[in-house]
Chain A
Amino acid sequence: GAGVSQSPSNKVTEKGKDVELRCDPISGHTALYWYRQRLGQGLEFLIYFQGNSAPDKSGLPSDRFSAERTGESVSTLTIQRTQQEDSAVYLCASSFYPDTQYFGPGTRLTVL
C-alpha cells in the first residue's frame, strides 16, 4: 500500500502566523511520530502517538507546538505564533513493530 504521506510539501509563512502540518500514516500502523530537522542537523524527536495511549510530548520545544491524532489515522502538528527558528523540515513517521519507523517526505517550513 501507500507509504506515509505529508502535506503540504512546502510551507512559507510570516512570523507570528499559525501553521498546520498534516501526516497520513501507513494503514495499520499503530504508532506515529513527529520529528524536526533543522538545516545541517540530525532529527529531533517532537511527539509520539501509540494507539489510544496518552501521547509522549516530551520533545515538544515549547507550548506553541501541539499535535493531535484521530484514532490510528491522520495526525496534525500545529505551530502557533511561528518564529524564524521554527524553520525546518518536519518529518512524520509511522510504525507497527517497535523501532522500524517509516518516514514521510516531510514538510519544509520557512518562516519569514
Chain B
Amino acid sequence: EDKVVQSPLSLVVHEGDTVTLNCSYEVTNFRSLLWYKQEKKAPTFLFMLTSSGIEKKSGRLSSILDKKELFSILNITATQTGDSAIYLCAQGGPGAGSYQLTFGKGTKLSVIP
C-alpha cells in the first residue's frame, strides 16, 4: 500500500488557470512534507512543511499542510506553460535518525497556451 498518495495523476489546464495538487501521507513518524518540481530528470526543491511551518508561499506557488487530516496541497495561480512538469510530494521519515524521503508517484501538470 502506497504511503504517499498524490492526486490527480495528471492534469491539463489552460494558461492563467489556478490548480490545486493534492498529497496525502501517513502519520507514522511524520517529520516533514516536501514538494518538488520535476521537469526533465532532476527534481527541484519547492517547499518543506513541518510542524512549525504549515504554510509556505513563493510567488505564484503556495502550499499548506493539514496535520489533522494528513494531507498537503500545492496551489499554483495564474499558471504558465513553464509550470508544466511533474510535481512530486514526499514525506520525511521515519525516525529522527533516518533522513529517507518517501515519494508519491507525482502529478503530471500540462499547461497549454
Contacts and interface: CB of A to CB of B under 8 A. Distances in A.
B105 A50 contact: no
A104 interface: yes
Interface in A34-87: 35, 41-45, 48, 50, 56, 58-59
B43 A108 contact: no
B99 A31 contact: yes
Interface string B21-63: 0000000000110101000111111001000000000000000
Interface residues of B, number: 24
B98 A99 contact: no
Nearest to A107: B41
A22 to B, nearest CB: 15
Contacts of A103: 36, 42-44
Contacts of B102: 45
Given A42-B103, A45-B100, A99-B34, A91 B42 contact: yes
A106 B48 CA distance: 22
A99 B101 contact: yes
Contact of A48 (B42, B98, B105, B106): B98
A41 B39 CA distance: 14
A48 B99 contact: yes
A105 B100 contact: no
B41 A108 contact: yes
Interface of B: 4, 31-32, 34, 36, 40-45, 48, 88, 90, 92, 98-106
